[in-house]
């Protein structure tokens, strides 16, 4: 679509979504299903893309350490995955590699095992629906299909854990959105400004008009959101992954940092490095990942690694999502979080409902007003008011 066509579509779009990653796409999916006219403006081919750094685990166990509303939000999101995966497959015909047979977290040494037991006991106390059990070395071999390394003392298994192919999910959403909405790749948004009762986004392909705007641009969200009064204190954390050639069935279940994809390739991840905006691979990290994988399962030493990649993930300052509407510009939203894949169910659901104005904010604790940051807007310095 040329800029004239953007103009000539007559009515502006109901929603413009900046960012076509897993967060933007899931929100768009939800909004389109509610009957809205949506345009998604995705960035350049070389832009930072956190979605490619997702390992694909929809994990329930051990995810309550942050506590408070985050734990409950995660639980809600994970519980909806079965339905979400089914619906998305029905809508798109795409195979998502969604598996919900449970997941295993290995512990090395006795101390790790004790810590893990305490952690999961606390989680069970908070969440009566949470199921788990601890596995001995023999149990691990039986459940996973490989003998664990000598340093492995035990593992926790949760039948509610699942995993999915993150690129397959993104691909399915994107395909569907190019049919049901307007999906424009390689369109950078320079600026968002009020325009009548809605907003005008200036892009290199001309102006785009929409009633409401959702900024879901990951690490780039602050650039557009902060001038409009939404604080987005996030930092990049690099995650690296390795992938092997296709192999015969080896890992029956996803194990902490290891999973076998439906096509047989084994994915090894996921590292966490603080290195600013550097999204290049570090060989030192790759070799450490390999060391860890072979310590967990020595039989994997013969697997041939054919590739690897790195991506910068988004981590908000306090680890909790940022779901905020601009205080001075109603109808402009910023949605960013860590673990956008797990949250996709709620982004397409409750968040889309809130953005549409159908329900109040589903979790006010996630507003960015909690940061009480001084922001500079285009015209003056304003306090992000409480």
Widest pairwise Cα distance in the chain: 67
Distance CA 14, CA 211 (A): 5
Question: What are the CA-CA distances from residue 275 to residues 49, 237, 278, 315 (Å)?
Answer: 16, 7, 6, 13
11 or 302: CB nearest another protein: 302
Task: Please tell me whether residue 105 adopts helix, strand or coil conformation.
Answer: strand
Angle between helices 81-92 and 68-79 (to 10 degrees): 40
Within 131-170, which residues bind another protein (CB under 8 A)?
A: 167, 170
Q: Which of 10, 35, 46, 360 binds another protein (CB under 8 A)?
A: 46
Q: Residue 127: CB partners within 8 Å, gap ≥ 6?
A: 64, 71, 75
25 or 345: CB nearest another protein: 25
Q: Note whether 307 binds another protein by CB under 8 A.
A: yes
Q: Which of 108, 124, 143, 305 binds another protein (CB under 8 A)?
A: 305
Beta-bridged to residue 201, according to DSSP, are: 192, 208
Q: Which stretch binds another protein (CB under 8 A): 139-147, 171-179, 205-213, 340-348?
A: 171-179
Are residues 304 and 265 in contact, defined by beta-carbon separation less than 8 angstroms?
A: no
Within 186-225, which residues bind another protein (CB under 8 A)?
A: 186
Least gap, CB of 252 to another protein (angstroms): 19
Q: Which of 134, 175, 252, 275 binds another protein (CB under 8 A)?
A: 175
End-to-end CA distance of the chain: 41
3-state secondary structure 219-248: HHHHHHHHHHCCCCCEEEEEEEEEEEEECC
Task: Please tell me whether residue 49 adopts helix, strand or coil conformation.
Answer: coil
Q: Note whether 70 binds another protein by CB under 8 A.
A: no
Q: Note whether 259 binds another protein by CB under 8 A.
A: no
Q: Which of 4, 44, 133, 190 binds another protein (CB under 8 A)?
A: 44
Q: Note whether 125 binds another protein by CB under 8 A.
A: no
Q: Which stretch binds another protein (CB under 8 A): 73-81, 131-139, 249-257, 277-285?
A: 277-285
Its sign, for the CA torsion 172, 177, 178, 184, is negative
Within 3-32, which residues bind another protein (CB under 8 A)?
A: 20
Q: Note whether 291 binds another protein by CB under 8 A.
A: yes
Cβ neighbours, 10 Å, residue 58: 30
Q: Which of 293, 312, 314, 315 binds another protein (CB under 8 A)?
A: 293
141 or 175: CB nearest another protein: 175
Its sign, for the CA torsion 55, 272, 53, 181, is positive
Q: Note whether 52 binds another protein by CB under 8 A.
A: yes
DSSP symbol at 147: P
Cα dihedral angle (197, 201, 202, 208), rounded to 10 degrees? -80
Q: Note whether 42 binds another protein by CB under 8 A.
A: yes
307 or 319: CB nearest another protein: 307
Q: Note whether 296 binds another protein by CB under 8 A.
A: no
| Residue recorded with tokens 């919900």 | 100
Least gap, CB of 300 to another protein (angstroms): 5
Q: Which two tokens stand for residue 2?
A: 């040329």
Q: Which stretch binds another protein (CB under 8 A): 97-105, 204-212, 293-301, 337-345?
A: 293-301
Q: How far is CA 125 from the centre of its chain?
A: 27
Q: Which stretch binds another protein (CB under 8 A): 3-11, 182-190, 208-216, 223-231?
A: 182-190
- Contacts with another protein by CB under 8 A lie at 20, 42, 44-46, 49, 52, 167, 170-171, 174-175, 177-178, 183-186, 242-245, 268, 281-284, 286-294, 300-309
């Amino acid at each position: 679509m040329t800029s004239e066509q953007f103009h000539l579509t007559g009515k502006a779009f109901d929603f413009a979504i900046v960012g076509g990653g897993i967060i933007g796409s899931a929100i768009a999916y939800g909004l389109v299903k509610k009957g809205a006219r949506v345009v998604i403006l995705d960035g350049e081919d070389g832009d930072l893309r956190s979605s490619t750094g997702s390992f694909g685990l929809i994990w329930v166990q051990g995810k309550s350490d942050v506590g408070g509303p985050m734990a409950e939000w995660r639980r809600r999101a994970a519980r909806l995955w079965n339905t979400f995966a089914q619906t998305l497959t029905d809508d798109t015909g795409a195979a998502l590699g969604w598996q919900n047979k449970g997941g295993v977290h290995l512990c090395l040494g006795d101390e790790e095992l004790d810590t893990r037991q305490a952690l999961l006991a606390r989680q069970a106390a908070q969440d009566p629906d949470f199921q788990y059990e601890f596995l001995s070395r023999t149990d691990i071999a039986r459940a996973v299909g490989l003998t664990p390394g000598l340093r492995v003392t035990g593992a926790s298994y949760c039948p509610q854990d699942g995993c999915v192919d993150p690129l397959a999910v993104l691909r399915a959403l994107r395909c569907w959105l190019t049919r049901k909405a307007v999906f424009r790749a390689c369109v950078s948004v320079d600026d968002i400004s009020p325009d009548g009762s809605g907003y005008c986004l200036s892009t290199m392909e001309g102006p785009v008009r929409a009633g409401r705007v959702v900024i879901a641009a990951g690490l780039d969200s602050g650039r557009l959101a902060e001038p409009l009064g939404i604080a987005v204190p996030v930092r990049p954390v690099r995650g690296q992954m390795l992938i092997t050639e296709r192999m015969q069935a080896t890992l029956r279940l996803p194990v902490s940092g290891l999973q076998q994809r439906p096509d047989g390739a084994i994915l090894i991840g996921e590292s966490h490095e603080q290195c600013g905006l550097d999204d290049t691979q570090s060989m030192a990290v790759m070799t450490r990942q390999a060391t860890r994988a072979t310590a967990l399962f020595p039989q994997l030493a013969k697997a041939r690694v054919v590739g690897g990649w790195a991506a910068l993930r988004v981590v908000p300052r306090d680890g909790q999502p940022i779901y905020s509407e601009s205080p001075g510009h109603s109808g402009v939203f910023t949605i960013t979080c860590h673990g956008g894949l797990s949250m996709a169910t709620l982004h397409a659901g409750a968040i889309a409902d809130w953005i549409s104005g159908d329900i109040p904010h589903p979790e006010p604790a996630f507003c960015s007003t909690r940061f009480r940051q001084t922001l500079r807007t285009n015209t003056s310095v304003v306090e992000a008011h409480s």
